[in-house]
Structure 1
């Protein structure tokens, strides 16, 4: 299937590791031009160098918790790319323990960076012929689990926010969707850390999934790219759960 993404202009937060990096790679493989950001300048530089042979990719060091810096990056990237067709809010603070600091960090980084990214990108998306907004939430935003609290609440709020965007922006032809991954394993990620630091929790988490294993970043990236494509032109306001049948709730 031709996803009709060749030459499209994509902006993504958090593109140096895990799900974010896999999304960057997947867009590049479809011929899209991609701008991404992350906080660590060295990681951004290394990622851009590693992916340069794969396509047109530009990385920037940005703290998405800094609203002014995030907005400036969107404007600079839109100028470099000649506009924007898709924005993907992928960064998470992964602030799980129930502390005051984690509540503030989750709301600022997970939720408000999504809001600020959309606000800054909207003028550019309105000029696109196939505009799309995608936010990465989590199954922890859909049902209660060990990550309920700062992390899970912020992820639930993201789903509600994007659902409202889909309705508000439909008349402008701008689609907005959420992708909610289940447990996703990659080296250097949170589950790799739990595997060594709390093997009992890791075994419990794996055992809860009917597939008998966790997902990969690539398995999350593929539906993100599909949702961004013109092929998915009738899909807006969806929360696409990518969890290997981990969650049991029925979406109605």
Structure 2
């Protein structure tokens, strides 16, 4: 049975309703936190803002602490409520989602660390246009996947899944371009390698945003679409017509 945003507000126990709503609220808060981390890390790189990069790096602990808090809430719900059906899917989807969000926070920290090292470079940096473009794309994927989770919107989730292939293509093109430049100018090797690590981190953010979208489909439809042929995804995850 597909679920909607109203499904988890129909329990006899008001306390159970409250616990599930708190779970979703805390997940969205964590999502907003890591989205800001990625945004700030990229801005710090593009603007050579070492202070902001240090802030992103130091704030990673807050993301980790929030993951532990949400995991503890999920554990207590599983132990005390023994949820079934859609309630169980919600708890499991939240556990999976927090893991992906924590890893996005890790990728933001990697970008911040590279931003710190690149801020000391006196030479013009190559690859910043690609960083800006791909970062805008993956941040939109992350934002859309969180919105899809909040609204139980499988159609929006599937848009995110489809976008991941485009990001992978952009990433591959950017890496080939930087490899060529690095071979032509050996003096740029250190800085270009740092930019390549940043691009790799952004590509991983896109992968985790894709995972979040897949969790939405699992939550709403009960379908695990990981490793599924892309040509069959739309048919499986499409909303049922009334």
TM-score clears 0.5: no
More strand by share: 1
Q: How would you bin the TM-score normalised by the shorter chain? A: 0.3 to 0.5
Identify the structure with bigger relative contact order (alpha carbons < 8 Å, sequence gap 6+). Answer: 2
Q: Which has the higher helix share?
A: 2
The TM-score, its normalising length taken from structure 2, stands at 0.33
